[in-house]
Chain A
Amino acid sequence: MKTAVLKRGFVIEKKKSEWRSHELIGFWALRLTLFLVLFILGVIVFDILSKGWEVINWEFLTQPPRAGMTEGGIFPAIVGTFYVTLITIAFAVPLGVGAAIYLNEYAIQGRFTRLVRMSVRNLAGVPSIVFGLFGMAVFVKLFGFGPSLIAAGFTLGLLTLPVTVTASEEALKTVPRAYREGSFALGATRWQVVRTVVLPRAIPGILTGTILGLARAAGETAPILATGAAFFLPHLPDSVRSQFMALPYHLFIMSTQHHAISQVRPIAYGTALVLLILVCLLNLAAVILRKRYRSRVAKGL
């Protein structure tokens, strides 16, 4: 009897320690994956930062490329990315937010809305080069915009739409039902409910999601490749029908297409760093917005 208990106790003891070591291994394996991800990210950022930092100066940011793009700055590419992002906003935000409002506030939920949602989400998985070719076929050719800021902006807008719609819908969903009911019960029409109660609550969330989508679009190369981005332009774009230079495309050229690749490598790194900083700034803006939104909710205004 006594030995049996001991034996049992021993067996259990052994199992326990086995579990412990299993758990320990699993825990460290998971932790390792995290370190690995951080490490890769760190290497990329460090590489770009260390090699790009020395290139960036006032001249680099404010001068056009010179001497066959082997010297000078990237000013036109910065301006081009800025313009194209503005057009992306003008296209994607009203369309995306409008669609989200319709889906969440007006449409009768059922098979149709499920189908629309599924399609929108799948749109997010479409490779960006497909968006680029679609943009070329539709905006450049069919609509006759030609390779231009507007064609590229619309194409990037399409690319951001899934993010904008989904983020906006999520933001609309977080508005408590009690607010809607309270507003309806006071005799508000559906649009009044949306405008006066739902949107004010949802706008910070919508903005956050939209900015994240824009940050992604600003860094895309494939969609603008065939829709309006230019290798080199002697002057800045002067209308929405102009072609433009853009940071991601410039980076692509400088690192793979230029005739003196090794000579322009520092410029490529500088461009990469500027693009990285731009995207980080956009993400930072999203974070700040979210924080302000939270404190506003806490204050109840």
Chain B
Amino acid sequence: MVQTDSNIKIQEALLQESIKEAPSELNEELANKCCEVKVENLNFYYGSVQALFDVTVKVQEKGVAALIGPSGCGKSTFLRVLNRMNDLIPGTRLEGRVSIHGENIYSSNTDVVNLRKKVGMVFQHPNPFPKSIFDNVAYGPRIDGLKDKTVLRDIVETSLKGAALWDEVKDRLNEPALALSGGQQQRLCIARALAVKPRILLMDEPTSAIDPIATQRIEDLVRNLCEDYTIIIVTHNMQQAARISDHTGFFLQGEMIEWGETAAIFTNPQDKRTEDYITGRFG
């Protein structure tokens, strides 16, 4: 369920006022760089249960933003707000403003299909379709209406190269994707997302279901991809966040406790709770 128009308008008005009145230092600093994702005063509900509380954050273009926090803290919910995957869950409700490239993605005239093409997603468990490797990567362009075989072939090749999988699968593109190993499947899912040419990639604990060596490859891949894409990654693993991200946000019980440069968050957290979590006192 998406909020009504009048609701949005009221909130927009309120927001603009509040922004005019009190632009925080952090906002000002980030506003200088190109801002990719802007979330303001986001509240999110599953039915009557509130999952996110007043989250405000700006993610800048390119680079990796990591979201950390204990299980059930709302980081995955937050991620799924950004490509409106939560729309698929009945009874969800959202307040606040979420904009991508300056456009409110929860306005009544948002084209969700286009939004999801712009904001790709990689899931926790690799979920290639039960089709061939080629058909998996070609899926997005094909549903977009692309039929030309040579163009498709090019897209599949560049996408698989982009996901560092090409060399491993170039001789068996017609084999079932499910025959690949878990780590390869996850990279295939990344290739599949890249084939749609998104600008933002959301990753929901992409390495939690695969082994350490495959994890390392995906981490390297994420570092490479962030030169061309804005990557927002949810991770359970704090070391991973420290290794691969430029910015980190710490979620706790639906609130974004702290957001900042990764180095700062990990060496000099401002909030006691962030410090406790990072030093392993809980979570």
Contact = CB atoms under 8 A, between A and B. Distances in A.
B70 interface: no
Contacts of A201: 130
Given A178-B123, A181-B88, A187-B140, A300 B178 contact: yes
B196 A187 contact: yes
B131 interface: yes
B127 interface: yes
Interface stretch (B96-104, B110-118, B163-171): B110-118
A64 to B, nearest CB: 49
B179 A300 contact: yes
A186 interface: yes
B139 A196 contact: yes
A188 B143 CA distance: 7
B113 A300 contact: no
Contacts of A109: 90
A300 B127 contact: no
Given A187-B143, A300-B176, A300-B179, A182 B85 contact: no
A113 to B, nearest CB: 11
B189 interface: yes
Interface residues of A, number: 23
Given A181-B88, A196-B143, A301 B123 contact: no
Contact of A183 (B83, B114, B129): B129
Nearest to A192: B143
Nearest to B111: A187
Contacts, number: 72
A186 B130 contact: no
A102 B57 CA distance: 39
Contacts of A186: 116-117, 120, 139-140, 143, 192-193, 196
Contacts of A188: 113, 143
Nearest to B116: A187
Interface in B105-157: 113-117, 120-121, 123, 125, 127-132, 139-140, 142-144
Nearest to A300: B178
A4 interface: no
A184 B127 contact: no
B67 interface: no
Contact of A181 (B127, B128, B140): B127
A185 B90 contact: no
B177 interface: yes
Interface in A11-60: none
B139 A301 contact: no
Given A183-B143, A301-B130, 6 more contacts: A179-B130, A182-B192, A184-B85, A185-B193, A186-B192, A189-B113
Interface of A: 108-109, 176, 178-189, 192, 196-197, 201, 297, 299-301
8 contacts: A108-B90, A109-B90, A178-B125, A179-B127, A186-B193, A187-B117, A189-B143, A300-B176
